[in-house]
Protein backbone atom coordinates (compact mmCIF):
# COMPACT_ATOMS: atom_id res chain seq x y z
CA UNK A 1 0.00 0.00 0.00
CA UNK A 2 1.11 3.56 -0.72
CA UNK A 3 1.65 5.91 2.19
CA UNK A 4 -1.52 7.85 1.37
CA UNK A 5 -3.54 4.62 1.40
CA UNK A 6 -2.05 3.60 4.75
CA UNK A 7 -2.90 6.98 6.26
CA UNK A 8 -6.46 6.68 4.99
CA UNK A 9 -6.67 3.13 6.38
CA UNK A 10 -5.88 4.35 9.90
CA UNK A 11 -8.26 7.32 9.59
CA UNK A 12 -11.13 5.12 8.35
CA UNK A 13 -10.47 2.52 11.04
CA UNK A 14 -10.48 5.22 13.74
CA UNK A 15 -13.73 6.66 12.37
CA UNK A 16 -15.37 3.21 12.37
CA UNK A 17 -14.31 2.65 15.98
CA UNK A 18 -15.72 6.06 16.89
CA UNK A 19 -19.14 4.91 15.66
CA UNK A 20 -18.77 1.61 17.53
CA UNK A 21 -17.91 3.46 20.74
CA UNK A 22 -21.16 5.42 20.46
CA UNK A 23 -23.24 2.30 19.79
CA UNK A 24 -21.75 0.48 22.80
CA UNK A 25 -22.47 3.46 25.04
CA UNK A 26 -26.07 3.60 23.84
CA UNK A 27 -26.46 -0.11 24.70
CA UNK A 28 -25.11 0.50 28.21
CA UNK A 29 -21.85 -1.38 27.65
CA UNK A 30 -19.79 1.41 29.15
CA UNK A 31 -16.50 -0.38 29.85
CA UNK A 32 -16.22 -1.70 26.28
CA UNK A 33 -17.23 1.67 24.85
CA UNK A 34 -14.20 3.19 26.61
CA UNK A 35 -11.96 0.33 25.48
CA UNK A 36 -12.98 1.11 21.87
CA UNK A 37 -12.54 4.81 22.63
CA UNK A 38 -8.87 4.10 23.32
CA UNK A 39 -8.61 2.52 19.86
CA UNK A 40 -10.20 5.63 18.31
CA UNK A 41 -7.30 7.74 19.54
CA UNK A 42 -4.62 5.08 19.02
CA UNK A 43 -5.52 4.63 15.36
CA UNK A 44 -5.80 8.37 14.73
CA UNK A 45 -2.30 8.81 16.20
CA UNK A 46 -0.94 5.98 14.07
CA UNK A 47 -2.35 7.71 10.98
CA UNK A 48 -0.43 10.85 11.93
CA UNK A 49 2.70 8.76 12.57
CA UNK A 50 2.45 7.17 9.11
CA UNK A 51 1.94 10.59 7.51
CA UNK A 52 4.78 12.32 9.33
CA UNK A 53 7.36 9.69 10.33
CA UNK A 54 7.29 6.21 8.81
CA UNK A 55 4.86 3.85 7.08
CA UNK A 56 5.12 1.27 9.88
CA UNK A 57 3.76 2.66 13.16
CA UNK A 58 5.17 1.32 16.42
CA UNK A 59 3.32 -1.64 17.92
CA UNK A 60 2.47 0.14 21.16
CA UNK A 61 -0.78 1.18 22.81
CA UNK A 62 0.50 3.93 25.13
CA UNK A 63 -1.09 7.07 23.70
CA UNK A 64 1.37 9.54 25.21
CA UNK A 65 4.32 7.60 23.79
CA UNK A 66 2.61 7.38 20.40
CA UNK A 67 2.05 11.13 20.43
CA UNK A 68 5.72 11.75 21.21
CA UNK A 69 6.83 9.43 18.42
CA UNK A 70 4.45 11.14 15.98
CA UNK A 71 6.03 14.52 16.80
CA UNK A 72 2.99 16.08 18.49
CA UNK A 73 3.48 18.81 21.07
CA UNK A 74 1.10 18.16 23.96
CA UNK A 75 0.27 20.18 27.03
CA UNK A 76 0.56 18.52 30.44
CA UNK A 77 -3.25 18.43 30.65
CA UNK A 78 -3.42 16.60 27.31
CA UNK A 79 -0.83 14.09 28.51
CA UNK A 80 -2.90 13.49 31.64
CA UNK A 81 -5.95 12.82 29.47
CA UNK A 82 -4.06 10.39 27.24
CA UNK A 83 -2.56 8.55 30.21
CA UNK A 84 -6.06 8.00 31.57
CA UNK A 85 -7.43 6.84 28.21
CA UNK A 86 -4.47 4.46 27.87
CA UNK A 87 -5.58 2.70 31.06
CA UNK A 88 -8.92 1.86 29.42
CA UNK A 89 -7.00 -0.48 27.14
CA UNK A 90 -5.22 -2.17 30.06
CA UNK A 91 -8.24 -2.38 32.34
CA UNK A 92 -10.53 -3.92 29.73
CA UNK A 93 -7.98 -6.45 28.43
CA UNK A 94 -6.69 -8.12 31.58
CA UNK A 95 -8.85 -10.32 33.81
CA UNK A 96 -7.34 -8.99 37.03
CA UNK A 97 -8.62 -5.52 36.21
CA UNK A 98 -11.87 -6.21 34.37
CA UNK A 99 -14.25 -6.41 37.33
CA UNK A 100 -13.00 -3.27 39.07
CA UNK A 101 -13.02 -1.38 35.77
CA UNK A 102 -16.56 -2.56 35.06
CA UNK A 103 -17.68 -1.18 38.45
CA UNK A 104 -15.87 2.11 37.74
CA UNK A 105 -17.63 2.57 34.41
CA UNK A 106 -20.91 4.12 35.38
CA UNK A 107 -22.90 5.97 32.76
CA UNK A 108 -21.67 9.34 34.08
CA UNK A 109 -18.02 8.21 34.10
CA UNK A 110 -18.24 6.84 30.55
CA UNK A 111 -20.06 9.94 29.30
CA UNK A 112 -17.37 12.19 30.78
CA UNK A 113 -14.54 10.28 29.11
CA UNK A 114 -16.30 9.81 25.79
CA UNK A 115 -16.56 13.60 25.67
CA UNK A 116 -12.79 13.85 26.33
CA UNK A 117 -12.12 11.30 23.56
CA UNK A 118 -14.33 13.25 21.13
CA UNK A 119 -12.60 16.54 21.95
CA UNK A 120 -9.09 15.09 21.60
CA UNK A 121 -10.08 13.41 18.32
CA UNK A 122 -11.25 16.77 16.95
CA UNK A 123 -8.03 18.42 18.16
CA UNK A 124 -5.97 15.79 16.33
CA UNK A 125 -7.85 16.40 13.10
CA UNK A 126 -6.92 20.08 13.24
CA UNK A 127 -3.19 19.60 13.83
CA UNK A 128 -1.03 20.99 11.09
CA UNK A 129 1.39 18.46 9.56
CA UNK A 130 4.94 18.83 10.86
CA UNK A 131 6.13 19.96 7.42
CA UNK A 132 3.70 22.89 7.59
CA UNK A 133 5.05 24.01 10.96
CA UNK A 134 8.62 23.86 9.60
CA UNK A 135 7.55 25.78 6.50
CA UNK A 136 5.85 28.43 8.61
CA UNK A 137 8.97 29.00 10.72
CA UNK A 138 11.13 29.07 7.58
CA UNK A 139 9.09 31.75 5.80
CA UNK A 140 8.89 33.86 8.96
CA UNK A 141 12.66 33.79 9.17
CA UNK A 142 12.91 34.82 5.51
CA UNK A 143 10.21 37.51 5.85
CA UNK A 144 10.35 39.45 9.15
CA UNK A 145 7.24 41.35 8.03
CA UNK A 146 5.00 38.31 8.54
CA UNK A 147 2.67 38.95 11.47
CA UNK A 148 0.55 35.80 11.61
CA UNK A 149 0.06 32.49 9.82
CA UNK A 150 -3.20 30.53 9.88
CA UNK A 151 -4.14 27.11 8.57
CA UNK A 152 -7.67 27.10 7.17
CA UNK A 153 -9.93 25.13 4.86
CA UNK A 154 -10.34 21.38 5.20
CA UNK A 155 -7.36 20.92 7.55
CA UNK A 156 -8.73 23.44 10.04
CA UNK A 157 -12.23 21.96 9.79
CA UNK A 158 -11.03 18.37 10.23
CA UNK A 159 -12.41 17.28 6.85
CA UNK A 160 -9.16 16.84 4.92
CA UNK A 161 -8.38 13.78 2.82
CA UNK A 162 -5.21 12.52 1.15
CA UNK A 163 -5.55 14.86 -1.87
CA UNK A 164 -6.48 18.00 0.09
CA UNK A 165 -4.50 21.20 -0.31
CA UNK A 166 -3.11 22.67 2.91
CA UNK A 167 -4.38 26.24 2.85
CA UNK A 168 -2.29 28.81 4.72
CA UNK A 169 -3.11 32.47 5.23
CA UNK A 170 0.09 34.49 5.60
CA UNK A 171 -0.51 37.97 7.02
CA UNK A 172 2.13 40.67 6.40
CA UNK A 173 2.39 44.06 8.05
CA UNK A 174 2.73 45.50 4.54
CA UNK A 175 2.37 43.89 1.11
CA UNK A 176 3.19 45.80 -2.06
CA UNK A 177 2.61 42.99 -4.58
CA UNK A 178 0.54 39.97 -3.49
CA UNK A 179 1.13 38.15 -6.79
CA UNK A 180 4.93 38.23 -6.55
CA UNK A 181 4.79 37.28 -2.88
CA UNK A 182 2.53 34.32 -3.57
CA UNK A 183 4.95 33.11 -6.25
CA UNK A 184 7.83 33.36 -3.74
CA UNK A 185 5.86 31.51 -1.08
CA UNK A 186 4.90 28.79 -3.56
CA UNK A 187 8.55 28.29 -4.51
CA UNK A 188 9.60 28.00 -0.85
CA UNK A 189 7.08 25.24 -0.14
CA UNK A 190 8.94 22.78 -2.42
CA UNK A 191 11.38 21.78 0.32
CA UNK A 192 8.53 21.06 2.74
CA UNK A 193 5.24 19.88 1.22
CA UNK A 194 3.86 20.79 -2.21
CA UNK A 195 0.30 20.42 -0.90
CA UNK A 196 0.83 23.74 0.90
CA UNK A 197 -1.14 26.54 -0.77
CA UNK A 198 -0.10 29.92 0.70
CA UNK A 199 -2.38 32.96 0.47
CA UNK A 200 -0.65 36.28 1.32
CA UNK A 201 -2.60 39.16 2.90
CA UNK A 202 -1.60 42.61 4.00
CA UNK A 203 -2.63 43.36 7.58
CA UNK A 204 -4.91 46.15 6.36
CA UNK A 205 -6.82 43.78 4.05
CA UNK A 206 -7.10 40.97 6.59
CA UNK A 207 -10.55 41.77 7.93
CA UNK A 208 -14.13 40.44 7.68
CA UNK A 209 -14.94 42.61 4.66
CA UNK A 210 -12.59 40.42 2.59
CA UNK A 211 -14.50 37.13 1.94
CA UNK A 212 -11.43 34.88 2.07
CA UNK A 213 -10.02 36.66 5.12
CA UNK A 214 -13.43 36.35 6.77
CA UNK A 215 -13.36 32.56 6.27
CA UNK A 216 -9.88 32.41 7.81
CA UNK A 217 -10.93 34.53 10.78
CA UNK A 218 -14.03 32.41 11.38
CA UNK A 219 -12.64 28.92 10.87
CA UNK A 220 -8.85 29.15 10.69
CA UNK A 221 -6.36 28.11 13.35
CA UNK A 222 -3.31 30.29 14.03
CA UNK A 223 -0.21 28.10 13.95
CA UNK A 224 2.73 30.47 14.54
In terms of Cα–Cα distance, which of 93, 76, 74 is closest to 34?
93
Mean per-residue pLDDT, 156-185: 90
Mean per-residue pLDDT, 12-33: 96
| DSSP assigned state of 173 | S
Q: How many angstroms from the chain centroid is the CA of residue 104?
A: 30
Mean per-residue pLDDT, 18-29: 97
pLDDT band at 52 (very low <50, low <70, confident <90, very high): confident
Residue 94 has pLDDT above 70, yes or no: no
Q: Do domains 3-126 and 130-222 have the same CATH topology?
A: no
CB 78 within 8 A of CB 120: yes
pLDDT tens per residue, range 133-162: 889 999 999 999 999 999 999 888 777 776
Q: What are phi and psi of 159, to 5 degrees?
A: -120, 15
Q: Does domain 130-222 have CATH number 3.30.460.10?
A: yes
Question: What local confidence, expressed as pLDDT, does residue 168 receive?
Answer: 97
| DSSP assigned state of 213 | H
Residue 126 has pLDDT above 60, yes or no: yes
Q: Where are the domains of the chain?
A: 3-126, 130-222
Least confident stretch, 27-41, 64-78, 127-141, 194-208: 127-141
Question: What local confidence, expressed as pLDDT, does residue 135 receive?
Answer: 93
CA 58-131-126 angle, 5° bins? 80
Question: What local confidence, expressed as pLDDT, does residue 79 receive?
Answer: 97
One CATH from 3.30.460.80, 3.30.420.40, 2.40.160.10, 1.20.120.330 for 3-126: 1.20.120.330
How far is it, in rounded angstroms, from Cα 96 to Cα 196? 49
Query: Bigger pLDDT: 71 or 46?
Result: 46
pLDDT band at 102 (very low <50, low <70, confident <90, very high): confident
pLDDT band at 224 (very low <50, low <70, confident <90, very high): low
Alpha helix (H) residue ranges in the chain: 3-26, 30-52, 63-69, 76-93, 95-104, 107-125, 130-142, 154-157, 178-188, 211-219
Quote the mean pLDDT of the chain: 91
pLDDT tens per residue, range 206-217: 999 999 999 999
Amino acid sequence: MKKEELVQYWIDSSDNDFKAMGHLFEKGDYSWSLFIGHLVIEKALKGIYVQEVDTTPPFIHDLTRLSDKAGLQLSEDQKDILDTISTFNLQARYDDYKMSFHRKCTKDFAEQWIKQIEEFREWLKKQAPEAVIKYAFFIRKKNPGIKKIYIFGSYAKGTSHQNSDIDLAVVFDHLSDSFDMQVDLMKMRRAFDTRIEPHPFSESDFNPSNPLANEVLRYGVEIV
